[in-house]
Amino acid sequence: GEQVEQRPPHLSVREGDSAIIICTYTDSATAYFSWYKQEAGAGLQLLMSVLSNVDRKEEQGLTVLLNKKDKRLSLNLTAAHPGDSAVYFCAVSASSGSWQLIFGSGTQLTVMP
Amino acid sequence: EAAVTQSPRNKVTVTGGNVTLSCRQTNSHNYMYWYRQDTGHGLRLIHYSYGAGNLQIGDVPDGYKATRTTQEDFFLLLELASPSQTSLYFCASSEWGEQYFGPGTRLTVL
């Protein structure tokens, strides 16, 4: 079945710097890609999602890139600020009918003032 | 905005105990999911449902039962709780890929 690897597990950047998180997946039938943010003590909040026909999506300081050839998904936070500190998860689905998501193991992002 | 609520938020039980975790969504979504979150594993799917009376097995179903009584309500049952089931449990709902999560229930099995 689908395997998702996420890296790095921990990422520390200074305020104003970019932060990049990468996920790789194994199933070429994967059709739906998403990123979630989890703040301390809270549930997961959907940040952005793309279908497989989209290579790049930008919203509010976030950029999602999808490289289907290399089976790689990335999230780029441009000009990170301390409020971005959280755990970030990628999640993918083959859209086989159940929309079952397979999650990466998470990246703890710390943005230092 | 989508709303998913869970109860209780925290639960402590003993080995062999009987626990029911509750989830309610007011999004009119067909799909509902139960996950557990453990350090180093991300979120793992336990059970899911695509409508009242329907139940599908997820990736880590052993030791868990679930029941979807209405479109809104999805329950996770641990009939003989074990310490390995100590975890943070999340419920989610969706109509397609975009899942909306509840705040979680922290379960400790002593």
**pLDDT tens by residue, A32-59:** 999 999 998 888 999 999 998 999 999 9
Q: Please state, as a whole number, how many other Cβ atoms lie within 10 Å of the Cβ of residue B37.
A: 21
Residue B47, both tokens: 């059970």
How many angstroms separate the CA atoms of B87 and A103, rounded?
A: 17
Per this entry, what is the length of chain B?
110
Residues of B with CB under 8 A from a CB of A: 4, 31, 40-45, 48, 50, 56, 58, 90, 92, 94, 96-104
Residue B65 in this model has a pLDDT that exceeds 70: yes
Q: What pLDDT, in 10s, does the model give residues B14-63?
A: 999 999 999 999 999 999 999 999 987 789 999 999 999 999 999 999 99
Question: What mean pLDDT is reported for chain A?
Answer: 92
Q: Measure CA B41 to chain center.
A: 16
* Structure-token pair, residue A82: 């301390």
Q: For residue A30, which of A49, A58, A8 has the smallest C-alpha distance?
A: A49
- Write out the E strands in B1-110: 4-7, 10-13, 19-25, 31-38, 42-49, 56-57, 65-68, 73-78, 87-94, 99-101, 105-109
Residue A93, pLDDT above cutoff 70: yes
Query: Apex CA A107: angle with CA A109 and CA B74, to 5°?
Result: 115
Residue B86: pLDDT over 60: yes
The pair phi, psi for residue B55, each rounded to 5°, is: -145, 135
A28: Cα within 13 Å, side-chain hemisphere: 2
Cis amide leading into A8 (omega within 30) = yes
Residues in chain A whose beta carbon is closer than 8 A to a beta carbon of chain B? 6, 32, 34, 36, 42-46, 49, 89, 91, 93, 95, 98-101, 103-106
Burial of A82 (0-12, 13-18, 19+ CB in 10 A): exposed
What is the distance between the alpha carbons of residues A1 and A26, in angstroms, rounded to a whole number?
8
The Cα of A102 is separated from the nearest Cα of chain B by a number of Å equal to: 8
Q: Give the residue among B66, B80, B79 at the shortest CA–CA distance from B36.
A: B66
**Sign for the pseudo-dihedral over CA of A86, A18, A36, A3:** negative
